[in-house]
Chains A and B, each alone.
Chain A
Amino acid sequence: MLEGGSADAVRELKFRDPARARAMVDALTRLTVDIGRAPVSVMHVCGSHEQAIAKFGLRAVFPRALNVIMGPGCPVCITDTPEVDEGVVLARQGVHIATYGDMVRVPGTALSLADAQAEGAKIHVIYSAAQAVDLARSIRDDVVFFATGFETTAVATAAIVLNGVPDNFSILSAHKYIPPVMEIVAEMPQTRVEGFLAAGHAATITGWGVFEPFVARHKLPVVVAGFEPLDILAGLVKLLELIRDHTPQVSNMFPRCVTREGNLRAQDQLWKVFRPTGGRWRGIAHVPNGNLRLRDEFAHLDARRRFTIDLTSLWDYAPPLLAQSCICGDIMAGISSPSDCTLFGQECSPEKPVGACMVSSEGACRIWHQYGGHPDLRGVA
């Protein structure tokens, strides 16, 4: 129910029209029948896509033969424990940490930032990167911006760097870059993924052209989709069409925000400040070029160089050997399910998650743990 009823609000609503949504679901059903395999597995690589699918309850209406897998697209969930530990150690040293809300409860080896806060550390939840700079300007103490998120969010971090920051401000970059992990999923030998739904907001920055080499290499279709219910359904319809017709190509179903080149001004700023480097993603081991780190020209703003971050103080706690038994990568690739994991429900639970699939509120393992499987709401009343 919406108040106001302004023309703008009504217009927004057109991407939430239930009649069109039903038509698209019917189209999905027809397409899965045409394709003739069950399940047809596709993957999205965006936490916000999963949030939107969950929020609108779309899984209860997808045809049974369609398996939409949540890939490694939640930047917070795939932030590995050593990176969280870096933030925790700095916080315990008395540095003010400014970070996005998503990050605060993600556990490191021993503690999350929220736990550190309970011990007295100064953790500031911000909505915008600019607020971290404002904080540094308002106090004398050191402020570290624990910067998480994918390239879309890294753009904001780049903007504040280029705008100039006070001397007591530095950045601990845990930013990630999505295209490399699609490669890893596509290259897994037993992967069942037949196509990808690409994140519309990241593509707003990078452009859809960035997926062309991927499609040429792997012969898998990629559809760029937005986040309203109709956007997601339309994206899936298009993806299934491409799968049915064996036409691997990039298709842009989010033209109101995404172009082939993307936002060149944002890209320019992003790559001026950051460089891609390899790193570990929680549950997915090494992702070449998957991490974004500050370039040498900005070393003076790099918290890793400004401070000595000694992680050994946290090693008294249980070592992360468990991570080696984690099969989140296989779960995300559609090869395994949570119940196949030896850690599921035992060493790995929502209170003490090992892998990304358990960290995310929409992660496959988290949902299985909470509801004893994927709750089937098709038949509800």
Chain B
Amino acid sequence: MCLGVPGKVVEINGKSATVDFWGVRRQVWLDVVDEPVAVGDYVLNHVGYAIRRIPDSEIGETLALYEELIKASEQDDLMAADVRAEIAATQEREDA
């Protein structure tokens, strides 16, 4: 159960879509996905079928969820300061 790989829709061809997996592309069937899919959407692909449209906003929300989890778990642990600084530094590099 279940090698699901996310990809980005680059073209809609009726019942299937051309999905880009950051290096290769493949046709993915749209029979099963429960929302309309448009060019630019991310979809989760399993054995050649899109099983879910991944809303763009969810990626940011997931990251926020992880931040929450980490912060809640760190109380006044001294080590946390180092790691938080490291994460902040990485964030800065990515955002730059």
Contact = CB atoms under 8 A, between A and B. Distances in A.
Interface of A: 4, 6, 8-12, 14-15, 17, 19-20, 22-24, 26-27, 30-31, 46-48, 51, 73-75, 100, 127-131, 149-153, 155-156, 159, 162-163, 178, 199-202, 204-205, 227, 230, 234, 237-238, 241, 253, 255-257, 263-266, 269
Interface in B51-82: 51-52, 54-55, 58-59, 61-63, 65-66, 69-70, 73-74, 77, 79-80
Given A19-B83, A153-B2, A128 B23 contact: no
Given A30-B73, A163-B31, A20 B87 contact: yes
A23 B82 CA distance: 10
A296 B22 CA distance: 42
Contacts of B83: 19, 22-23, 26
Across the A-B interface, the 10 shortest Cβ-Cβ residue pairs:
A128-B48, A256-B58, A27-B73, A201-B2, A150-B1, A152-B2, A265-B34, A201-B4, A159-B31, A19-B86
A255 B73 contact: no
13 contacts: A4-B22, A6-B22, A19-B86, A19-B90, A26-B73, A27-B70, A48-B3, A129-B47, A156-B48, A178-B1, A200-B4, A201-B46, A257-B52
Given A9-B22, A152-B51, A266 B34 contact: yes
Nearest to A227: B4
A19 B59 CA distance: 18
B54 A256 contact: yes
B44 to A, nearest CB: 6
A23 to B, nearest CB: 5
A338 B3 CA distance: 27
Give the size range of B's interface with the partner: 35 or more
Contact of B1 (A75, A159, A264): A75
A171 to B, nearest CB: 14
A155 B87 contact: no
B29 A130 contact: yes
Interface of B: 1-4, 6, 8, 22-23, 29, 31-34, 44, 46-49, 51-52, 54-55, 58-59, 61-63, 65-66, 69-70, 73-74, 77, 79-80, 83-84, 86-87, 90, 94
Given A263-B34, A265-B32, A234 B69 contact: yes
Contacts of A129: 47-49
Contacts of B87: 17, 19-20, 23
A117 B34 CA distance: 39
Contacts of B8: 8
A100 B52 contact: no
Contact of B80 (A26, A199, A201): A26
Contacts of A149: 1-2, 47
B40 to A, nearest CB: 11
A23 B47 contact: no
